[in-house]
Structure 1
Amino acid sequence: MLARLRRSAVLLTGALIPVTLLVGQPAASASAADPMSAAFARAATTYEVPRDLLVSLAYAETHLDGHDGKPSASGGYGVMHLVTSRTLERAATVTKQPVSALKSDDAANIAGGAAVLRAYADELGLSAAARKDAGKWYEAVAKYGNASSADVARLYADTVYDLLTEGVRATTPGGENVTVQPRAVQPDRGAYAKAKDLDNPNTLAASTDYPSAVWVPAHSSNYAVSSRPTSDAIDRIVIHVAQGSYAGTISWFQNGPRANPTSSHYVVRSSDGAVTQMVREKDRAFHAGDYNRRSVGIEHEGFVNNASWFTDAMYRSSAALTRNIADRYGIPKDRTHIVGHNQVPGADHTDPGGFWDWTKYMGYVTGGSGGTPNPHTAESVCGSGFKVIDSAALGTAGTVYLLYNTATSNNCVATIKKTSVGTASAVSAYLEVQGKTRVTDTGNFAYYAGPVKAAAADKCVKWGGKAGTSVYDSGFEHCT
């Protein structure tokens, strides 16, 4: 039978967008072989959303795993994480799809996410020309994240745009490969340009307990003010998996009051191991039932049934945090005192789940390297005569160094990786001598970025770099 063409329309914020639907047509062979890629392509065309932006957003939320229609901790469903009482119902209204399909069918869910994103773009007044520029969708992406504050909305959107810039290579639960090629995108942050950059610790108040964390307080209803360890001894560390994204978890803990108050002391990001503290260790976070009084809780971005979230960077960073907590409170570094949420008496949770590698994790906690050391140093990269005069940690992913050669009056900048050593990943280094053009070395490198050298006698310099999604930017300094 010949396919029947049916002209329909989608209503988005008062505008009718014509859509051509094929009824009764067998799927093309490419669609049959790559159903999720085809769904992203269809949704992008139907709602005029950049396809790569749509994939990057979905990957940031779920790693393209719909979790068989089961909700995240914050009530989000499917590949696009459509959230109950927010984006889920709006997607149903716009697409005319039943909520049950939006929850469990990947293609319907992807179309629903695209429809909501387009509706936000229309509300923001994006023209047809602007919609072709992925950078112009920034505010719509930030709104899609349903963040509890402008700062967390920026964190959410920045994560999506980092993925868009660096590229995505994902394998779906069905074994399909979905990719986004790296591309240069300049995000137009609009009103969010004034929000705090939660990825830049230089702009934030320091964490009260762990120097490597940034401080983003949970809502006061989600924890109990206390005076530990005076009031209650701290003798346990509880490992959690958030069943959600990094930004989404931070937003969830900032949200309140609600019927089921929830928080943890720390949240750790998958991609680079960045750490956010949300409850002071002296206070009781609501994370582990009977263990709330005696423990510190660490949430990890991801889902228990998808091992792709559990990166080496996350393990290393979390283990360093656990080791620091254990040392300060005299907690033994063993599996009796460092436990999963599922081990807490009376717990009905399964996290961190079977994909969590306890052997690797505890090896890092007790001081084992657990990975390939970087054979290069900043001095070896920059060459003879250069000595380190400054450095800045890039989360746990690496360190950027500023060096100086007294014989030549040259500066040099190099970024040395600490994670994914030997595997090409995004890393950069730059040096800017005052009054001259900035020079940057950036790309996917196995061991380091740089060397970036320039003569800077009696000149101030800016320097910095990036590893994963952690960035350091200095001001003009080292002027003599």
Structure 2
Amino acid sequence: MRRRSKILAALAAVALPISVTGVSSGGPPVAVASAPGPSSAAAASAFEAASQQYGVPESVLLAVSYAETRWDDHQGKASTSGGYGPMHLTAVDPTAAVDLSGGRKLAKADSLRTLYKAAELTGLDAVALRNDASANIAGGAALLASYQRSLGLPVGANTSAADWYGAVGSYAGASDRTGASGFADDVYAILAQGAARTTNTGQQIVMPALKVTPAKAQLARTGLPAAPKSAAATECPADLGCESLPAPYQDLGGGDYGNHDLANRPKTGKIDYILIHDTEGGWQGTLNLVQDPTYVSWQYTMRSSDGHVWQHVAAKDVAWHAGNWYVNMHSIGIEHEGFAAQGATWYTEALYRNSARLVRYLAKENNIPLDRAHIIGHDQVPGTIPSTVKGMHWDPGPYWDWEHYFDLLGAPIYGHSVFPVKEGTIVTVKPGFSDNVQVVTGCNTDGTCAPQGTNFVYLRQAPDDAAPLVKDIGLRPGSTSSTTGVSDIGARAAAGSQYVVAQRSGDWVAVWYLGALAWFKSPASAPDAFAKPGLVVKPKAGKTTVPVYGRAYPEQAAYPAGIPYQTVTPLQYTIGAGQAYPVGDANIETDYYRAVSFDGQPPADHVQVLGKDRYYQIWFGHRMAYVRAADVDLKLAY
């Protein structure tokens, strides 16, 4: 299978302060606690002041800002979509924003340059709107008020939040009504749930829940067109507004073809996984690649700036995206525009929210559990045989916020312990994100990475901060320890991953990891892992080691005449006697989907070979793996 090259880059950022205190207007009180440092109690709340000056309910202003940036200010820099500050005011060149799927403009030119419209409305300098958080919030409020007036609707800080749906939809800058309503629905869902967060500058903001019934009919006043015509040909939720951009299924001659395989899933293999990728390139280049029949494929591409979605391959067909044919057979791949080493620069709130909306839909349609054993990163896909382990991918990288993502999926990562964390229990890793700033290196040409939240904890060879990181003999053959390199996943336990506790020593917890002990710090006062009951596998009595596999292929006797046996080769790792590993899925299919020629027909091609030799999917190191049921005992751990 052809393999994409991954390019590393990073963007340095500088934090700017934001001062917010006070109570809300047009809704319940908004409680705000100032960050440690000089008191801001005497300063007017930026949100409250903007609400009063421009006549926008403070609850609406806060919810829009949260939906755009989660109240962060981009640390004084532009986001990848050209947006600045907590209100994400944009300064994009509209001539560069063209959709390759049909040449249409992504949005109206003025919606791509809201920074300058805000400057016109407020009289504030564009530089101030970019760099000063309070000015930026004022600019966002002025824009919302202008949208409200353009729709012929009343303005005022004490107006009902329910009557701002049309203005909120306009703020999205979407090119169609579906995109606008999707953003507005997110904003009103945030209002209904409330929100609380410490921003990137250390400000603690709490927005109490406010349930209102928004006036959705207002959106008709915007004059935005309906969803793209191709949306009807996609497998997407109705409120996402996907476009169809099919990947070519084409005969290239000489027995070669591309860039995916026709199938009839789940009849030819059930769909167990949704894979989260990043593109390591811009969306325009990515769309070009998926239309190249000599390249690989995936089901969906998502744009960073606004979470816009294109579908390329039907869910029933097999795309070439995972680097592991067994996982391809059983997965749907979603590419997210971005670079793993830049992280939050590309992983925008719009991207997270629309991705979660799509994944919820796909999971429901295909009976996929919403957990970290089935909604997985490309970095969790195992190598197929020992020689492929080192070359497997590591996206979406250490800066993808799995905890926030699963909150958006409505399936929060486990974060409390019913049972004590002790030997034999299963623990789920949940280290937090924004304040979990681990040392990572190698993003920039000088070997550094800009400090930012990470999704993992490091694992060490002993219960000591100075101890070397654990080894991964697949990634670094020999006795070399893992490193802090941005692409080195050998010693990382990511948010949502599960392990079995082997020992405890004070604040330190040792778990079984890649066939050995691995230690991480999880003090009782601020734990990074939480115990929960579940199934584990242990080597059967008398077995000193158990092999681990990267795919669950059938036994040789299962293959009919004309279909060559696919050798079942163990990886270089083993499970030792006395060790235990959590089960991610005890009901996977042992199968091989034969598809090696263009438009092949059964029985010789395009057929599922089903085996009787049963496997379990397990948590094993940073990646998942498979073990034969005949080699292990299935036990309940609690």
TM-score scaled by length of structure 2 = 0.37
Question: Of the two structures, which has the highest relative contact order with CA contacts closer than 8 Å and spacing of 6 or more?
Answer: 2
Greater Rg, structure 1 or structure 2?
A: 2
Structure with the higher strand share, 1 or 2: 1
Structure with the higher helix share, 1 or 2: 1
